[in-house]
Structure 1
């Protein structure tokens, strides 16, 4: 057995380098570096097909403390090209853990680096934009000549826009999705979608999108990315979901044509990449964000309800607001951080889309109601604004009991309960 290598090296195309400690597999990692701000959910991030072609830096410093289990995966395998963390817990502690993060990465041949300044890396990407990079494990500290070699290798990495990542992550044949729901979903299963058949076009679909539909009683048929309107018609589906996925929507002519043909013929819901596909089908353009949205705490305002929701996001591209043709399509949701388009609705037809992930996983569950909105739209055939107007308003709480941590020392002022104090300020 070869000796373990002592150094891990991450080199960006602009020459910035980070030397740390190896984690995971001794393999070459190459792709575009993005950062994710979620505090948990590293396994869901690794297995989200939307991360195909990318190396993920987790900004929260501690990762791996609760291990991994196969039931939490968002697909059959990890799609991220590499993982970058400040510190990885070597001995996870959780009753359902099946392996450590290091063991999981080795099993799937995913390289990783730890014990580097992830704050500095994140700041560098925020200032300079997305970077192609390579990650290697080395037996000795890299010389300047070796770093120069790695910079050249990083510059040769194929950009996301030039890779057919959707074809890489999609299923190759149509199938009904019959995987059993996990116990926590079986106990809260509902019948809202009973009797409905929903076609989901797989551009890199997350498992929890399929679970969210099945949880509501829908039958789900999953189609490959090459599906056409004729395929959807032949399936007998009552509703159509355009899934999330990786890469640049500008190169997806087939999916855009499907969305254009389906509009007005079947109720349609686009998620993440599916939202961008719907935007292009509406006649809008798409463009790349400076460093993407990756995290579980992005505030979004819904114009149809006036409410603000915290969302889980993972995308590099956006629908350009100024390019949306005047008329039937309108911007239904916006990001409160940068005002980017987070949702589209159609004024006359049953079609809407969101840029974020309503199922969370990882992230907040604030937006699970969008699957209910879609089911109501399928049943009624009404445009989304009318569906929203007819949905039952959830009662707002009038009183809230906050159980804080209390004073550390008897007689200490309440402001030392930081979490409780912040909650009071927010509710006020």
Structure 2
């Protein structure tokens, strides 16, 4: 089945189709992860994006029922050099092409992904379409230039109703901006009683649940759209410990007067080196983001930079100098990826416990 990738600059890549037989439009981005295609495809931070896999072969261990980051993936398409013809793994429940077909996600293989990634790195993120026809490319290009694939996307991927993931220890509220299931897994490991709330929740609704701590999840899109969420965080951080991850990191920054900007091609993969400025230790991290916090906007704020990305100096961590609140741009849940930063969840637990001790002492 012949299929084409058409980019907004007019470039046409012919290839072979797999997965769903449907036209799609989205931002074309790439990941450097060598494994974890299932987790990436089901990560809602890729909502309305077409994902290029730089590893030349994907699909070789199929899809299993345990590693999804969401039950309803919102990715718009998959691009790779080759999909495995005969996948095999003892955990496998189906092959990648059938999984994509079931979720109405088209794929294209046979493309020189090295050339495509070089183009994205040189020119920045490009909008594109996966289609069965390369006719009338000029019209397609004009339509792509008008598309804004990720505008308002968090309202689509966030939970519409609150739900509880029960535990016996700390009472943690998670604000769902497009949360990965792996975040819940880390909180479950620590026996937290978790209540997941929609992205448009108010500070009063959060505090009515009497949380011991609040976690701001990852998610897709432009953080500058999240003005209501930032206002909510600005109120709750004064009352309860806060931990932000990825989009949560950016919303936390906005809540404290910082600004964000769109990166040229973002960070997506599992091998990004990050330095902890307090210890000078390096952690290899899992990342998926196309926006970052502007370091110049932090100078006059109540925030302090705690982590930076070694390759380009991107702000990767923040802490509030007055309140028990911090954030990181990377994914300490790392599913998949290195687990160098998993201890940040323990740091959040300790912050909660210390805050409760101070409150108990003050009340006594």
State whether TM-score is above 0.5.
Answer: yes
Deviation per residue, 1:332-370 (Å, 9 max, x gap):
000001001000012232100000100111211111100
Looking at structure 1, the residues matched to 264 and 65 of structure 2 have their Cα atoms a distance apart, in angstroms, of 33
Looking at structure 1, the residues matched to 313 and 218 of structure 2 have their Cα atoms a distance apart, in angstroms, of 21
Aligned to 2:67: 72
Task: State whether residues 202 and 242 of structure 1, in contact with CA within 8 Å, keep that contact through their aligned partners in structure 2.
Answer: yes
The alignment's TM-score, normalised by the length of structure 1, stands at 0.81
- Name the SS of the counterpart of 2:233 in structure 1: helix
The 5 A counterparts of 1:363-402 are 363-381=337-355
> Is 2:35 the counterpart of 1:40?
yes
> Is 2:213 the counterpart of 1:239?
yes
Question: 1:194: how far off?
Answer: 5.0
Match of 1:113 among 108, 114, 123: 108
Match of 1:254 among 223, 228, 233: 228
Match of 1:292 among 244, 249, 266: 266
Task: State whether residues 202 and 224 of structure 1, in contact with CA within 8 Å, keep that contact through their aligned partners in structure 2.
Answer: yes
> Is 2:141 the counterpart of 1:156?
no
Max Rg structure: 1
The 5 A counterparts of 1:162-241 are 163-178=151-166, 195-241=169-215
- Name the SS of the counterpart of 2:234 in structure 1: helix
Aligned to 2:361: none
The alignment's TM-score, normalised by the length of structure 2, stands at 0.95
Question: 1:159: how far off?
Answer: 4.3
Looking at structure 2, the residues matched to 26 and 148 of structure 1 have their Cα atoms a distance apart, in angstroms, of 23
- Name the SS of the counterpart of 2:30 in structure 1: strand
- Name the SS of the counterpart of 2:140 in structure 1: helix
Question: 1:175: how far off?
Answer: 1.1
Runs of 5+ unmatched residues, structure 1: 1-5, 179-192, 383-428
- Name the SS of the counterpart of 1:338 in structure 2: coil
Looking at structure 2, the residues matched to 323 and 47 of structure 1 have their Cα atoms a distance apart, in angstroms, of 33
Q: Which has the higher contact order (CA 8 A, sep 6+)?
A: 2
Looking at structure 1, the residues matched to 20 and 196 of structure 2 have their Cα atoms a distance apart, in angstroms, of 32
Task: State whether residues 90 and 102 of structure 1, in contact with CA within 8 Å, keep that contact through their aligned partners in structure 2.
Answer: no
Query: What do you get for the CA RMSD once the two structures are aligned?
Result: 1.4
Question: 1:325: how far off?
Answer: 3.8
Aligned to 2:126: 131
- Name the SS of the counterpart of 1:264 in structure 2: coil
Task: State whether residues 207 and 236 of structure 2, in contact with CA within 8 Å, keep that contact through their aligned partners in structure 1.
Answer: no
> Is 2:19 the counterpart of 1:24?
yes
Looking at structure 1, the residues matched to 44 and 301 of structure 2 have their Cα atoms a distance apart, in angstroms, of 34
Aligned to 1:348: 322
